[in-house]
Structure 1
Amino acid sequence: MRTAVVVGGSVAGLLAAQVLTRHADMVVVVERDDIGADADQAAEGNARRGVPQGTQMHALLEGGRRGIERWLPGFTDEIAAAGAAVGNSGRDVHTYLDGRRRILVGDLPMVSATRPFLEAHIRRRVLADERVRLHVGSAAGLVIGGGRVRGVRVTRGSAADEDTLDADFVVDATGRASRIGSWLADHGWPEPPLRRVPVDLGYATALLRTPPGVLDGMTLGQSITHGPGGRVRVATAGRVEGDRWVALVAGYADDRPRRDSEDFLARCRDDPADEFGKLAANGELLGDIAVYRHPDSRRRDFHKVSRFPAGLVCVGDAVASLNPVYGQGMSSAALHAACLADHLDARPGPNEPPLRYFKAVRRVVDAAWQTSVLDDLRLPHVDAPRPWGFALKNAIGDMVLRASVTDPKVARKFLDVMHMLAGPDSMMRPGTLVRSVRATRRRATGARPER
């Protein structure tokens, strides 16, 4: 192909652009933020305007890290040299369930850095390719004709200042607010069905500096605590570039954190994991508390549409935007890039709809959706239909989750699922269930854990 256009210059769009460099003579990234000009500022930890949640704590799961390494070899070493922390799941990644620390297992590398830092390093690598060009502007619609996409309408400054970028292939990476449905409808194509689960999550993030030795032995930590009335709180912390810590606290509905330091520090002190109390007692807040609200998880079921134009795909949150406390966003983007690569490597015909791509992406979304949404549906305030067998799945899931605290093999299975290295169904295999039952019985009798 001669020209590909990627609409959106966030992580999903940048990785898609990197994939397209193997197939297109030129790749144009359309982004309303001048991400070329503010790259240095972003690397210093300042989120750009188009990513309001960029100031919040983000996670790069192992599935995502491996995906980025595939397209940008040496990425992990590069960001580690620039100040990112790289921990190890078997040594310095501490996770807690209701105050009980999960056994350390495996040797997965765990990257801890701020979102602007990670995105800036990805952006520098991608835009360094002479085949990739940045076009500052906002997408206003698509040009579709003859059963395929022909280009993108782009505005800059005002609606009157509109250009058309011709394209042989277009990627929509405009995020959860994507207008792909209306863009398709404007040309008489069916809109993909949109599913929503109203989770009403609120979270708050702070940057801190601590004296040496306060949190020795931990690079990343997470604590999930269940309270009365179905209340769930989450606290997460990680060492990041600049010799700092980033910490997040989250809650749902009426228990969402406020935008003030007193509430933030109180939630850290109240957490049953000692590390968060130490962070509150010894950490120096660096700037204001940043809050963000995630009203719903959503997915667009592209695989259900009867017709779809050739040469057009969607990636990242434009496909599925999930509960961010599970940290699946950037890693899902990397897996979508892999699906795009497989699709293009198969050399689809110029008028062939991207059904193969959306079928592959559906498997990625289904796994992530099952991991997060089944848990969200347990929250009493979530008003959404429960799937068939929901109560039984919950009971089994609870047993496996609690077994992962003490049983090393179950813990490793759990770790692989949470890091998007395996699907959630792998937790339901007979061997894992048997070990989970045994772990539950040992806990009830006080017997030693099984190795």
Structure 2
Amino acid sequence: MIDPSVETFNRLIRTELPARTPRLFDTACVLGGSIAGLLAARVLADHARSVVIIERDELEPSGQSRAGVPQDRHGHALLPGGLKQLERWLPGVVDEAQALGGYLAPIEQQTVYYDGRPRAQGGDAKLLLGSRPFLEARIRDRVLALPNVSVLSGLATGLIYTEDGRVSGVQVDHESLSADFVVDAMGRASRLSTWVEEAGYQRPVLVRMPTGIHYVTAHFERTESADSIEQACVLGLFAPRTMPADLTVASACVIEDDQWQVMMMTYEDNPAARSVEAFRSACRDLPPIFQKATTGELTRGLETYHQADSRHRDFTGLTHFPAGLVAVGDAVASFNPIYGQGISSAALHASCLSEYLTTDPDLTTPATDFFAHQKVITDAAWTLSAGADAARADAITGTKAPAEVEQQRWALNQIIQATLTDPTVTEVFAAVTAMDAHPATLADPAVLDRALAANEAATAPRLG
């Protein structure tokens, strides 16, 4: 019997456009012009006469960071699962990104290292490389070109409700904006929970998973064309305390404007580098591509970012919640960014919204069907990122997890180890991490059996 979550996941990741898009609203409102908000606006444009995005930041041109997105100075991966959804909702956007300096890296130019050992290549998934501001600008340009989508500059400060429990508008600074449907895309610091609680409704349950991560990122001039470089996107993963400064993750990717974007991540209060000299020195202990990527002139100063925890707000199971109100993106789940799931999750949240709006929803009641679909996507990403963070926390504190959890962690480690030698296992594992397959795929006994066989063959003594 197929897990219902797997069936839902597979339905949500399909790439064809909906066959019918009924007009449901006069005005729909999106709180926040993030990637999640923009893609929600794109879906709403099929169902509303007018879609208004409320954004407090000035919408900067490509390459400029926004104050409301402090992590956008650092690496952002558009995973294959998210890339397919982006092209689904904005056909041709990938070609446009490439024409403006983005790079679509084939599998041959992607490398993942585990403690210095390259993972076997499997599958043919491509990655769209570019900085977060660059990628966001491409999406924003396409969404704002829609004739019924506009931006209202201002700060959303609250919601307006009808007596029968529906959202009927938004408070923007000192003005009121009527709306038939509202999407919260205000990010991990969203105040939606407080707003609904103050109005007498239930607030979603918030789960925090401590991470304590520190990013240090630098950008360097690149003299070679992206298609002539053997490795255009490299990710290095290291066991704790096997590298200087407790380095855990490092990445190097080609991005727009002939640049390399190089990032190093550590845990707790021990940044990988405090100066450009120290940054370049640390890269000498990494695979050779990192030293190559950091030889050019610095194009901007070192950027740092700290995230104390991952967050997950659960909107399912609420018995008293306003109708006409949903949330997307980091306002629902903000993951450990080393897994690169944020943009892809946001794209899939847009698909959840489309699924909800195209199936004749009862708009006079809370959007429970939407939240149920969204939970499938969020749980799929959370399973990998929060699971790994929980395992690390248990190792630090000496906590023994339940036997079932320990077994799951052991099996996952066997699969990860097998990706060093077996392209088939790599393809299965990469599809899950790319949000192109449900994590239940990894629980298939055939996958684990193949991984165990690959690991046994790799450690067996060679004769002759």
Q: TM-score, normalised by structure 2?
A: 0.90
> Which residue, out of 426, 432, 437, partners 1:411?
426
> Which residue, out of 313, 327, 337, partners 1:324?
337
> Which residue, out of 104, 108, 111, partners 1:86?
104
Contact 2:339 2:385 survives alignment (8 Å): yes
2:185 maps to 1:168: no
> Which residue, out of 81, 86, 110, partners 1:68?
86
Contact 1:95 1:222 survives alignment (8 Å): yes
Q: Which stretch of structure 1 is more off in the superposition, 260-269 or 55-64?
A: 260-269
2:100 maps to 1:100: no
Give the match for residue 33 of structure 1. Answer: 57
Which amino acid counterpart does residue 421 of structure 1 have in structure 2?
D
Which amino acid counterpart does residue 259 of structure 2 have in structure 1?
R
Partner of 2:76, secondary structure, is coil
The Cα of 1:347 is off from its aligned counterpart by 2.3
Give the match for residue 5 of structure 2. Answer: none
Query: Alpha carbons of 1:446 and 1:255: their partners in 2 closer, same or farther (altered >3 Å)?
Result: farther
Q: How far apart, in 2, do the equivalents of 1:382 and 1:293 lie?
A: 20
Q: How far apart, in 1, do the equivalents of 2:462 and 2:270 lie?
A: 37
Give the match for residue 274 of structure 1. Answer: 288
Partner of 2:78, secondary structure, is coil
Q: How does 1:136-147 map to 2 (within 5 A)?
A: 136-145=153-162, 146-147=164-165
2:35 maps to 1:20: no
Q: How does 1:108-147 map to 2 (within 5 A)?
A: 108-145=125-162, 146-147=164-165
Q: How far apart, in 2, do the equivalents of 1:243 and 1:213 lie?
A: 7
Partner of 1:63, secondary structure, is helix
Give the match for residue 252 of structure 1. Answer: 267
2:394 maps to 1:377: no
Contact 1:69 1:75 survives alignment (8 Å): yes
Q: How far apart, in 1, do the equivalents of 2:249 and 2:147 lie?
A: 43
The Cα of 1:229 is off from its aligned counterpart by 8.2
Partner of 1:389, secondary structure, is helix
Cα RMSD, aligned residues only: 2.0
Unaligned runs of 5+ in 2: 1-24
Give the match for residue 179 of structure 1. Answer: 191
The Cα of 1:211 is off from its aligned counterpart by 3.9
2:313 maps to 1:300: yes
2:357 maps to 1:339: no
Give the match for residue 315 of structure 1. Answer: 328
Query: Alpha carbons of 1:295 and 1:100: their partners in 2 closer, same or farther (altered >3 Å)?
Result: same
**CA deviation vs aligned residue, 1:21-72 (integer Å, no higher than 9, x gap):** 000000000000132xx3x3xx1x2201111111111110011111111110
Query: Alpha carbons of 1:445 and 1:288: their partners in 2 closer, same or farther (altered >3 Å)?
Result: same
The Cα of 1:213 is off from its aligned counterpart by 8.3
The Cα of 1:389 is off from its aligned counterpart by 2.3
Query: Alpha carbons of 1:69 and 1:387: their partners in 2 closer, same or farther (altered >3 Å)?
Result: farther
Contact 2:169 2:180 survives alignment (8 Å): yes
Q: How far apart, in 1, do the equivalents of 2:120 and 2:45 lie?
A: 43
Partner of 1:255, secondary structure, is coil
The Cα of 1:232 is off from its aligned counterpart by 5.5
Query: Alpha carbons of 1:267 and 1:173: their partners in 2 closer, same or farther (altered >3 Å)?
Result: same
The Cα of 1:446 is off from its aligned counterpart by 4.8
> Which residue, out of 177, 196, 205, partners 2:208?
196
2:69 maps to 1:56: no
Query: Alpha carbons of 1:17 and 1:86: their partners in 2 closer, same or farther (altered >3 Å)?
Result: same
Q: How far apart, in 2, do the equivalents of 1:266 and 1:387 lie?
A: 42
**CA deviation vs aligned residue, 1:213-253 (integer Å, no higher than 9, x gap):** 89821111101011438956101111111111111110111
Contact 2:247 2:264 survives alignment (8 Å): no
The Cα of 1:81 is off from its aligned counterpart by 0.9
Q: How far apart, in 2, do the equivalents of 1:179 and 1:58 lie?
A: 25
Query: Alpha carbons of 1:409 and 1:446: their partners in 2 closer, same or farther (altered >3 Å)?
Result: farther
Partner of 1:405, secondary structure, is coil
Q: How far apart, in 2, do the equivalents of 1:400 and 1:263 lie?
A: 35
The Cα of 1:262 is off from its aligned counterpart by 2.7
> Which residue, out of 409, 428, 449, partners 2:443?
428
Q: How far apart, in 2, do the equivalents of 1:228 and 1:299 lie?
A: 29
Unaligned runs of 5+ in 1: 156-161
Which amino acid counterpart does residue 152 of structure 2 have in structure 1?
H
Partner of 1:304, secondary structure, is coil
The Cα of 1:275 is off from its aligned counterpart by 1.3
**CA deviation vs aligned residue, 1:116-138 (integer Å, no higher than 9, x gap):** 01101110111111201110001
Partner of 1:270, secondary structure, is coil
Q: TM-score, normalised by structure 1?
A: 0.92
Give the match for residue 209 of structure 1. Answer: 221
> Which residue, out of 3, 6, 10, partners 2:34?
10
Query: Alpha carbons of 1:32 and 1:447: their partners in 2 closer, same or farther (altered >3 Å)?
Result: farther
Q: How far apart, in 2, do the equivalents of 1:268 and 1:344 lie?
A: 48
Partner of 1:352, secondary structure, is coil
Partner of 2:346, secondary structure, is helix
Contact 2:43 2:354 survives alignment (8 Å): yes
Contact 1:209 1:284 survives alignment (8 Å): yes
Q: How far apart, in 1, do the equivalents of 2:308 and 2:282 lie?
A: 21
